Amino acid sequence: MELWSESWTSGDSIPERYAAGRLLPDGSVGFSDNLNPHLAWSGLPAGAKSMVLICHDFDVPTEATDVNQPGREVPADLPRTDFFHWVLIDLPPRPTVIAEGEFSRCFTPRGKPGPGTPQGARQGLNDYTGWFAGDAAMAGQYFGYDGPFPPFNDSLVHHYVFTLYAVDVDRLPVQGAFTGAQVRAALAGHVLGEATFSGTYTLNRRLRGG
């Protein structure tokens, strides 16, 4: 099975329009276009009844003390963890494409609705749900795709991995406002094939060369 995109080449820097956050001309950061990227796949295994797509960043700091603090950087050697940006399940195997902007076209304070989506699929909660939980203006359930918005002072460039799974069931056994961790657990014994596509993103001006 193969997964690719017209939005960027796998492993390259993610264009700003697919991110949730961007650098502003005044030196601060703000929200970006937050478009979901185009994705397409081929080589479906026999017996595939639905698809599952997970996008996660594995470079998220486990300690928030230095995050987004002017005048210092998040240390590169700080332990890192996963942050889910998109959890999409029960996607029909065909058509073998997700169009740019089909599932997300902006960043929505308090989150986009779910779990229902285009193409009859279901979308789970991404980890902005937890990130904004203590913010009265932003707290809510963040369903579907919300793209990169790494700390502007992180000394690591963040890596984002889109993993597509072909599974042998029409409907994955998770309910309600499910999470990426729940979907990963529910995939056990159902995966017929998988493929990955990746990109990088940073808001650190030093790492961007300006």
Distance, in Å, from the CA atom of 149 to the CA atom of 32, rounded to the nearest integer, reads: 9
Of residues 151 and 209, more confidence is placed in 151
Q: In what order do the strands lie in the sheet with 122-123?
A: 122-123, 80-91, 50-61, 158-167, 191-201
pLDDT (0 to 100) of residue 122: 98
Prior bond of 95 cis (ω within 30°): yes
Q: What is the per-residue pLDDT across 52-78, written as a single tens digit (0 to 9) for each?
A: 999 999 999 999 899 999 999 999 999
Please state whether the predicted TM-score (pTM) of the whole model is above 0.75. Answer: yes
Q: Look at residue 210 in the predicted model and tell me its pLDDT.
A: 62
Question: What would the CATH number be for the domain defined by 2-208?
Answer: 3.90.280.10
* Whole-number average pLDDT of the chain: 96
| Helix, strand, coil distribution of the chain in percent, nearest 5 | 10, 35, 55
Type and span of the H or E element at 206:
helix 205-208
pLDDT, residue 209, reads 80
Nearest to 133 by CA among 111, 164, 113: 111
